[in-house]
Amino acid sequence: MSGDAGGELDGRTALVTGGARGIGAAVVTRLARAGAHVSFTYRTSDADAAALADKLDAEGLSHDRARVDVTDVAAVDAWVNDVAGRRGTVDVVVNNAAAGRAAPMLHLTDPALLRESVDVNLLGTLNVVRASSTHLLLGGRGAIVSVTSIAGRVGVLGLASYGASKAGIEGMTRALAVEFGPRGVRVNAVAPGYTGGTAMVGEVPRATLDALVARTPLGRTATPEEVAEAVLFLVSERSAFVTGQTLVVDGGLTS
């Protein structure tokens, strides 16, 4: 299978960071099935990246992968320029690479843990957008989507730096929508709620997760594939007049 019949992203080149597992892997798969060539990065999960590549190969989907730390500016530049050089274009960028662990009260938290979320989530996203925007703007079209979190919109105990980094990405999204819009590039975000099959939710105690599900109007957690559908919508022509927005995918939890 080479993608959906009449794929929405036929002929497009997509970059996805943090694409080896969880939401990232679902996004990589969905964009590839929609017809895009997808280049995805990972930082430490070699086995997961290889397993995803095998799955994509089995479906005949176009892809490549690179081990890239998004906090390393030179590595990000090299990856983006390599893909653009080989493919001749960059059309879609999905910022999914993230770091975040629940911490004790802020005054007891190791400063290194605070920096990790900001460095990977916020500065890493800016590094990727900076490197890819030249190619997007030269093409005069394209879409950037960053995966944020409801933790950037409501207070979550123990996630002060993580929430701050995700809120920062939403601020960046609005600013860049204004900056890039006149050049034909749209910039949006997707804010998932608690999503099953992800490492972060896997660390949430069962009783806590059950309580959150009980407060969710749709009565369950999201799946990575449901988040990926939201990403596809925002990078496709179906959302051609949407920019500077955050699409919340949380089953109504924050409502």
Residue 6 within any structural domain of the chain: no
List the catalytic residue out of 40, 42, 162, 180.
Answer: 162
Residue 176 within any structural domain of the chain: yes
The pLDDT of residue 177: 98
pLDDT digit string (tens) for 80-130?
999 999 999 999 999 999 997 777 678 878 888 889 999 999 999 999 999
Output 38 or 210, whichever has higher pLDDT.
Answer: 38
Question: How does residue 204 score in pLDDT terms, banded at 50, 70 and 90?
Answer: low
pLDDT digit string (tens) for 129-183?
999 999 999 988 999 999 999 989 988 877 889 999 999 999 999 999 999 999 9
Residue 192 within any structural domain of the chain: yes
Q: Tell me, yes or no, if 162 is annotated catalytic.
A: yes
Question: How many domains would you assign to the chain?
Answer: 1
Residue 209 within any structural domain of the chain: yes
- 205 torsion bin: left (phi>0), alpha (psi -120 to 50), beta (else): beta
Residue 109 within any structural domain of the chain: yes
CATH number at residue 150: 3.40.50.720
Closest CA to 247 of 202, 200, 190, 204: 190
pLDDT digit string (tens) for 1-38?
344 545 999 999 999 999 999 999 999 999 999 999 99
Residue 241 within any structural domain of the chain: yes
Residue 40 within any structural domain of the chain: yes
Residue 254 within any structural domain of the chain: no
- What residue numbers bound the domain in which 63 lies? 13-249
